[in-house]
Amino acid sequence: MSLLRRFVQVDVFTAQPLKGNALAVVVDGGGLSDAEMAAFARWTNLSETTFLLEPTDPAADYRVRIFTPGGELPFAGHPTLGSAHAWLASGGDPKKPGEVMQQCEIGLVRIKRQGARLAFAAPPLRRSGPVEPELREQALRALGLQEAEMLDLVWVDNGPQWMAARLASAEAVLALKPDFIAMKGLKLGVVGAYPAGQELQFEVRGFVPGLGVPEDPVTGSLNAGLALWLMQAGHAPEAYLAGQGKALGRDGRVHVWRDAEATWIGGDVASLIHGQVRL
């Protein structure tokens, strides 16, 4: 039997509505089957839809399941911040003041509250290092690049199997016109630096055609993997601001910094829709 369930839609990585990455959140997700969750995610046709559930880990405040139109993800960044925002706005009371502990398929993810802004601790990379030669050739074809134009191509896999290409500039990143057919099977992020003195240090783009998201507007998991790699490799300072979404008419802002506890991926969340959905 269908039930009316609390539902919200938020815009993540922006304080200005319609400039970030939209997220649908079913606050009362208990009792839904995998097939029902997947069907609703296909129907919303957003890059991700989440379902909030009672945690099974006693350390967690809530559990989340994350679906794209093409399947379920073990972890994703903008759904982490958006789900935490929705849980708090719906009356969630964290066990520990000042932070929220999320349970998802990769385990526990810590979320820090800094006023209205939320930030999650970047999970460790499951796979790192250079990408295999045959995948590098495929990535070059998919991005329409010559070998010399791709400075690096490395794994930054923290669950969603991201690989990351570094280009010479933000301008080069924005100029890309990807071939999504040639990209089949890849989850490919691209990053390039802005000239010194700009508000943004990097421009990021994320491509996931296999999950029904040819280009994601703003991608927390990718930015988390990029942060760990860029800082470790000496390509980024310990605090920076990245932009994503400009190629899609968005203006996402990803706040990144490292302290003694973790590398943090932060962003604002704007609420757009509150209501009920019959599922």
Per-residue exposure over 83-104, b if at least 16 CB sit within 10 Å of its own CB, e if not: bbbbbbeeeeebeeeebbbbbb
Which pair of tokens denotes residue 29? Answer: 């997700």
Q: In sequence order, what are the residues at sequence separation of 6 or more whose Cβ sits closer than 8 angstroms to the Cβ of residue 102? A: 60, 61, 62, 63, 64, 80, 83, 84, 108, 109, 110, 111, 120
Catalytic residue check, 99: no
Catalytic residue among 36, 48, 132, 149, which?
48
Name the phi and psi angles at 170, rounded to 5. Answer: -65, -35
**Other beta carbons less than 10 A from residue 271's beta carbon:** 14
> In sequence order, what are the residues at sequence separation of 6 or more whose Cβ sits closer than 8 angstroms to the Cβ of residue 88?
94, 100
- Please identify every residue annotated as catalytic: 48
